[in-house]
Amino acid sequence: MKLGYTLSGEHQVRMSMYEQQLRLKAYSPHTIRTYCNELMQYLYFFSSLDVDQFTSEEIRTYLLHCLQQFKLSENTLHSRINAIKFYYEQVLRQDKIFLDIPRPKRPSILPQVISMQDLQKIFEVTANLKHNTILKLCYGMGLRVSEIVALKVKDVDSRNMQVFIQRGKGKKDRYANLPETLLGQLREYWKQYRPKTYLFEGQDGGMYTVRSAQQVFTAALKKAKINKKVGIHGLRHSYATHLLELGTDITLIQQLLGHQDLKTTMRYTHVSKKTIKSIKSPLDRM
């Protein structure tokens, strides 16, 4: 894997072993790319030193340097810690080296949500049938953009009004409910484009790229004149928040989103203004 760094021969051997272990553990291509990049920067920083002999003290000093000199954000530092930790624990089998290395507290960032009025504008200005269908499915089923582009024609079960999401985040399968209002549009889309394998195909017939889907959303946001810094993932956040505001049980939303931990889903309770406003003070009940 070429990432723009020149490493010593010994470090190149370490990188090769590292990447092999990641693949054997069946990590996703995105995670492998991220972890390899993080470890490569770690090895490059120490040049020809034998990092295999490092103690937790050397690693702590390096991480502190990343914070103070490189000005890495908390999330980026977490990513680097995870990558280095994998090397020492999974490749070198040094299980206890990270026991006393603290992690920085992550900032609490609330999900960006788009109002139903703005969503309506986005859909109205997106005239291209394929693009319109992509955006409506992202919002209508709360899908990640990676899940949308990975959908196959056979995954759509119009009889049961469900869509099979294969190997979503965490490599977990799940079903999402197909909005009734989208069934007719999906059929019209299929008649016009005749996709073979993937529901949304690129120009070469292969899977539609994540980047292309992101560009579709960005263009729609601009055309609808919505001045808000939000990515296509905001459609998924909006789906969850709007379900919560409609009174949907939080555990059901967790299942629909494919969240492993309920705490992840609970973030939407802090975003939903209607849910918070509905809470009455005990004084009002006297």
Which are the catalytic amino acids?
144, 169, 233, 236, 259, 268
Separation CA 97–CA 116 (nearest Å): 49
Query: What is the biggest distance separating any 2 CA atoms in the chain, rounded to whole angstroms?
Result: 76
Separation CA 235–CA 126 (nearest Å): 15
Element (DSSP H or E) covering residue 164? strand 162-165
Q: Which of 143, 125, 123, 142 has its CA nearest to residue 133?
A: 123
Cβ neighbours of residue 271 closer than 8 Å, sequence gap 6 or more: 110, 111, 113, 237, 241
Q: Which two tokens stand for residue 66?
A: 């990343």
Q: Which of 189, 239, 191, 235 has its CA nearest to residue 216?
A: 235
Do residues 101 and 80 lie in contact, with contact meaning Cβ atoms separated by under 8 Å? no
Alpha helices for the chain (secondary structure H): 9-24, 29-45, 56-68, 74-86, 116-125, 129-141, 145-150, 180-193, 210-223, 233-245, 250-257, 262-266, 268-271, 273-277
